[in-house]
Amino acid sequence: MVQAKTWSLTKHFDGFPKDSDFELKVEELPAPKDGEVLLEAVFLSVDPYMRPFSKVRMNEGDVMIGTQVAKVIQSNNPAFPVGSHVIGRCGWRTHTVCGGTDLIPIMPDWPQDVSLSLALGAIGMPGLTAVYGIEEVLGLQKGETLLVNAAAGAVGSVVGQIAKIKGCKVVGSAGSDAKVAFLKELGFDEAFNYKTVGSLEETLKKASPDGYDCFFENVGGPSSSVALQQMKNFGRIAVCGAISTYNDTTPQTGQTAVSGAHHTRL
């Protein structure tokens, strides 16, 4: 028998998540049956979507949702040999027994100098979100100017790099000087710390006096209302998230209540 440690949601979040909202439990797992595998977690994802999704997709007492990179340590499924790695929606747990239906195999020739954690980041869901938002929602074209907030995050940092590859001017907003320095390393044309600028409106105007063709929205809230006023005629906005509002105890109303729905075209 294998013991699994799991983080369970003991109480739905009220405002900012607290340690007391979680409980570490231990459970005994059965041996895998025919077609099943035993997984051992290597990396767990901690993503913004978990905060709002937990309210509608979880009951108190459930194991916290989330994706993980896991190693197959026992297998009764030939599609997933022992020693191989997979991506699975197993939640916050150290070990899982499951069938192979919802598992995505990681290619066996994954480069040794590339961390498997990137299968949950730039080479995983956040990276695909960036690609989809740029290509399918924004239709970003060479020579256009793109604004992206939460630009140093898993999605925003990939958005900016793809936009530069496409030959665009990229302006990024982030929440610390260290993050701004990181954006400069990635090749962003302009980057600023929204917490320390005197006027967000003036900062955006200075970064791109002619306005913005595209806006990749990850933050929501009042800052987005300012950014909306900087859009060019017929500008495009990809609404990927609204992380600034996720911990609000009272829902915002009006223009600042930007939707958290993924990949929406406005």
- Do 177 and 231 lie in one domain? The reply is yes
Q: Is the pLDDT of residue 266 over 60?
A: no
| End-of-domain residue from the set 106, 134, 158 | 106
Q: For the chain, first and last CA: distance in Å?
A: 52
Query: Is residue 118 in some structural domain?
Result: no
Domain that holds residue 29: 2-106
Assess whether 155 and 190 both reside in one domain.
yes
Q: Greater confidence, 1 or 146?
A: 146
Same domain, 53 and 21: yes
Same domain, 140 and 200: yes
pLDDT at position 252 over 90: no
Q: What's this model's pTM, rounded to 2 decimal places?
A: 0.88
Q: How far apart are CA 130 and CA 161, in angstroms?
A: 10
Structural domain total, the chain? 2
Q: Strands of 85-88's sheet, edge to edge?
A: 95-99, 36-44, 68-75, 85-88, 104-105
Residues 197 and 99 in one domain: no
253 pLDDT band, cuts 50/70/90, is low
Of all residues in the chain, the percent with pLDDT exceeding 90 is 88
